[in-house]
Structure 1
Amino acid sequence: MSEVFKVVQEETHNALVEAAYKHRGYSAEESAYAAKFSAYASTHGIRTHNALKALHLDHLFGSGSQGCVPDAKIEKLESRFEASQTWNANKKLGQATAYEALETCIELADKYGVGQVSVDNAFHYLWGGGYVMEAAKRGYIAYTNCTAALAEVVPFGGKYPTLGTNPHSWGFPTVDAVGFPIVIDWATSVIAMGRVQQLAREGASLPPNAAVDKDGNPTTDPKQAAALIPFGAHKGYGLSLINEIVGGFIGGSLPTIRNRSWEQADEKHTACFYFQVIHPDAVSSGAFAKSRNQSQNVKAVIEDILGHGNESCLLPGQIEAGAAKKTAANGGLLFTDAEIAAFNELAEECGSPVWDADSFAIAKS
């Protein structure tokens, strides 16, 4: 049986999310960024990294702990490289920091062809695909990775979680070619912990070989999942390792004490993230066959890949584009009754009006 979704106006959603962040001490600007990003995730059907996940993370590891400081100021360090910046985020809210990093990378890419920003002492920025999708819609190639809030993934062949879910996200400006930006965005575990939390909330089971319980045994019960397994065995492990090593070069903390073991004051406990934006003109040879331009050439490559009997294959980002169309057709963000109940817990926390689930229209499929 398919899930039933209710239609919540974006303004209603954003008002509650902003109120929740302000209640926890965040500035109006930070709260607005958080609401904007949460709405963007929900628009594209990203239920694992919506406002519920964001505020849950903040409660566990952010303003409710020691991992995030409301209204912190970013320190931009001196660099001898004109197209590169390194920041000390001073534990500023991840979404606000990431939006600023993305805009900075775009400005650098417009000037130098490529721009990169590495961020130390960061708080998790949630759905990396949202940032690169935004850049791709504006005509840029973009990449980001980050170290996750916690070490929740066991290395290939191991039993103890020493890696984060450590996502990689690429966005490509393919709106002209296929009608939407291709966004390749994945956690390096079989599933994200946000998905585990969502399935637990919905009373559903995990896929096999995605998680282990506290004793290191495989489990399909999301409420018993203590750690996750890398996708693709040694390949997913290697991709997860990339994020930890990049974070190590930036200045990142030890994965097993990140957002934990705060009594170890001589160690850092924060995440790192990295952004890169490339102007398409900066990588173009101009030597496209049959007098095609760059966009036409990209389209031809994609059509060749999806030809030859592969016409029913999906492109990364296609499901999200479909979700955005469904959101637009319904005139609001789509949430289940279980999610609305979780939003109402936030409303009670910050003293905002609760939502009446019965007052919202049922979404059209």
Structure 2
Amino acid sequence: MSEEFRVVPVETHNALVEAAYKHRGYTQEESAYAAKFAAYASQHGIRTHNALKALHLDHLFGSGSQGCVPAAEIEKLDTKFEASQIWNANRKLGQATAYEALETCIEMADKYGVAQVSVDNAFHYLWGGGYVMEAAKRGYIAYTNCTAALAEVVPFGGKFPTLGTNPHSWGFPTTDAVGFPIVIDWATSVIAMGRVQQLAREGATLPPNAAVDKDGNPTTDPKEASALIPFGAHKGYGLSLINEIVAGFIGGSLPTVRNRAWEQEEEKHTACFYFQVIHPDALSAGAFAKGRDQSTNVKAVIDDILGHGNENCLLPGQIEAGAAQRSEKNGGLLFSEAEIDAFNELANECCAQSWDVSSFEIAK
């Protein structure tokens, strides 16, 4: 039997999320960005990176710690490269910083064909797929990666967590071809820590070979999970390593110190992230077969991949597109009763009106 969800109006959700962020000292603009992004994640069924995850991270490593500074200002550093920008975020809220980085990349890509923004002293921006999806919906190819808030993943063949879950996210403007943007977005661990927390909240179990306990032994109990395992053995390990090395070039902190060991004042404790946006016209060689243009050629390539008996295969981003359609059909965001209980804890924290679960319709 499938889990029952309640339909929460976007306005109701955003009002509470904004109130929670403002209660913690964030500006109206920052709080609005946070609520907008949380709603976008929930709209697309990303339950591991919704507002509950965002505010939990803020409590642990953000305004409740030393990792994020409400109302901080981004410092844009000098660079000799016209299609590149380098930012010191000064620990500004990650969602607000990431939205601005994405918009900046799009503006530069319109001019130069390709653009990048690297961000130092950042706070985690949550679901990377949401940003590249937004760019893809607007007709651009986009990529982002970031270093995770904590080192929670053991390297391939290792015992001690020295890597983050370190996600990679790609978005492609394929709405004309398949009806939605193809979004390839994954943590480089078998499972994201947000998913572990979700399963623990709901009394479920982990998949095998996804996590280890405090003694380094494999566990399927989310409440016993102490560290995560890379997906695909050495392949996931290598992809995770990319994020740390890119961050190292930007100015990144040591993974095992990040958001930990604050007494080591000479070390940085912040994350880094990186955005790249490509205008499709900047890639086109123009020599498409059978007189196809770029858009119809992309569709032909995808049709070939999903042909030959592969018609039932899913494309990355298809599940999220389906979740968005379901949200739209129901006229709101879908949450379990356990999630609504967690939202009411936030309401109590910021003295906002709590949600009456019985007032929300059951999702169809």
- TM above 0.5, one fold? yes
Q: CA deviation at 1:52?
A: 0.1
Q: CA deviation at 1:305?
A: 0.2
Distance in 2 of aligned mates of 1:358 and 1:312: 38
Distance in 2 of aligned mates of 1:105 and 1:276: 7
The aligned counterpart of 2:284 is 284
Matched AA of 1:259: N
Matched AA of 1:200: A
Distance in 2 of aligned mates of 1:295 and 1:339: 40
The aligned counterpart of 2:313 is 313
The aligned counterpart of 1:15 is 15
Q: CA deviation at 1:314?
A: 0.2
Distance in 1 of aligned mates of 2:175 and 2:137: 7
Distance in 1 of aligned mates of 2:231 and 2:216: 16
Distance in 2 of aligned mates of 1:107 and 1:330: 35
Matches within 5 A, 1:47-196: 47-196=47-196
The aligned counterpart of 1:223 is 223
Distance in 2 of aligned mates of 1:117 and 1:141: 15
Distance in 2 of aligned mates of 1:135 and 1:32: 19
Matched AA of 1:156: F
| CA displacement 1:157-202 (0-9 Å, x = unmatched) | 1110000000000000000000000000000000000000000001
Give unpaired runs (5+ residues) of structure 1: none
Distance in 2 of aligned mates of 1:236 and 1:358: 43
Distance in 2 of aligned mates of 1:158 and 1:78: 40
Give the secondary structure class of the aligned counterpart of 1:256. Answer: coil
Matched AA of 1:298: V
Q: 2:325 aligned with 1:325, yes or no?
A: yes
Matched AA of 1:281: D
Matched AA of 1:93: L
The aligned counterpart of 1:358 is 358
Distance in 1 of aligned mates of 2:221 and 2:63: 30
Distance in 2 of aligned mates of 1:287 and 1:352: 59
Matched AA of 1:14: N
The aligned counterpart of 1:233 is 233
Distance in 2 of aligned mates of 1:59 and 1:88: 22
Q: CA deviation at 1:311?
A: 0.3
Distance in 1 of aligned mates of 2:75 and 2:7: 40
Matches within 5 A, 1:195-206: 195-206=195-206
Give unpaired runs (5+ residues) of structure 2: none
Matched AA of 1:268: K
Q: 2:304 aligned with 1:304, yes or no?
A: yes
Distance in 1 of aligned mates of 2:71 and 2:114: 29
Give the secondary structure class of the aligned counterpart of 1:323. Answer: helix
| CA displacement 1:215-234 (0-9 Å, x = unmatched) | 00000000000000000000
Give the secondary structure class of the aligned counterpart of 1:257. Answer: coil
Q: CA deviation at 1:108?
A: 0.5
Q: CA deviation at 1:359?
A: 1.1
Distance in 2 of aligned mates of 1:262 and 1:279: 41
| CA displacement 1:309-334 (0-9 Å, x = unmatched) | 00000000000000000000000000
Matched AA of 1:236: G
Q: CA deviation at 1:96?
A: 0.1
Q: CA deviation at 1:292?
A: 0.4
The aligned counterpart of 1:45 is 45
Matched AA of 1:217: N
Distance in 2 of aligned mates of 1:159 and 1:42: 34
The aligned counterpart of 2:25 is 25
Matched AA of 1:304: D
| CA displacement 1:278-318 (0-9 Å, x = unmatched) | 00000000110011000000000000000000000000000
Matched AA of 2:245: I
Give the secondary structure class of the aligned counterpart of 1:116. Answer: strand
Q: CA deviation at 1:262?
A: 0.5
Q: CA deviation at 1:277?
A: 0.1
Which 4+ stretches in 1 moved above 2 angstroms? none
Q: CA deviation at 1:358?
A: 1.1
Matched AA of 1:73: E
The aligned counterpart of 1:2 is 2
Distance in 2 of aligned mates of 1:151 and 1:225: 14
The aligned counterpart of 1:35 is 35
Distance in 1 of aligned mates of 2:341 and 2:223: 19
Distance in 2 of aligned mates of 1:106 and 1:266: 36
Give the secondary structure class of the aligned counterpart of 1:268. Answer: coil
Q: 2:240 aligned with 1:248, yes or no?
A: no
Matched AA of 1:224: E
Matched AA of 2:198: Q
Distance in 2 of aligned mates of 1:44 and 1:143: 19
Identity of counterpart residues, as a percentage?
86
Q: CA deviation at 1:20?
A: 0.1
| CA displacement 1:21-65 (0-9 Å, x = unmatched) | 000000000000000000000000000000000000000000000
Matched AA of 2:28: A
Q: CA deviation at 1:2?
A: 1.0
The aligned counterpart of 2:214 is 214
